[in-house]
Amino acid sequence: MELLNLIDIFKSQKIYSFEEDIERNFWKEALDEDVLDVVSHVKINIVPKGYMRYELSMRLDAKIKARCSVCLKEFEFDVAIDEVFELLDKSLETYAKSHMLTEEDFYTYYINQEEFDPSEIVLDSLIGSIPIKLLCHESCSLPSKVEQGSKSFAILKELLTKEEKNGGTKT
């Protein structure tokens, strides 16, 4: 995504809009290795809201191809994000006395008005909407531990039997 000069947008007092398909390699380094591919499109509107303040509305649609965290099957799912963020100049950044973040803190970005890169907001939004554990369907699960254990021991017994037949050491 291109760098924007928000001061120029402020001077115009008009809504600045752009939309684009996001290149697939944009997501590669930032997302979990179980996310195999992302095809996405973003639409952003930026509105001046006062001295060194802007409102950024974003619509992000993404089709995500991933590997299930449990069964390792590949599957796809869609993500649609429609959010509004407040952009404030870095000089307005203040630290609250409390160590607890409020909900509005999650929707506020302190930015450089002359070189604003909206890709950080796009990236944060998608990462925040992808589940930590990727499941191909809600009921996806591995066989129970008892089943796994008996299968594991059966495989081990088979390997030991083959080794003994081939002249290996006996235990």
| DSSP string covering 96-125 | -SSSSPPGGGGGEEEE-TTSB-THHHHHHH
Q: What is the mean pLDDT of residues 103-113?
A: 76
Q: What is the mean pLDDT of residues 8-20?
A: 87
Q: What are the boundaries of each domain within the chain?
A: 6-140, 142-171
Beta bridge mates, 7:
none
pLDDT tier, 146 (very low <50, low <70, confident <90, very high otherwise): very low
Q: What is the mean pLDDT of residues 155-163?
A: 76
Of 3-7, 64-68, 71-75, 118-122, the range with the lowest mean pLDDT is 3-7
Whether pLDDT at 101 is above 60: no
Is 122 within 8 Å of 58 (Cβ atoms)? yes
**Which tens digits make up the pLDDT trace of 54-96?**
999 999 999 999 999 888 999 999 999 999 999 988 887 776 6
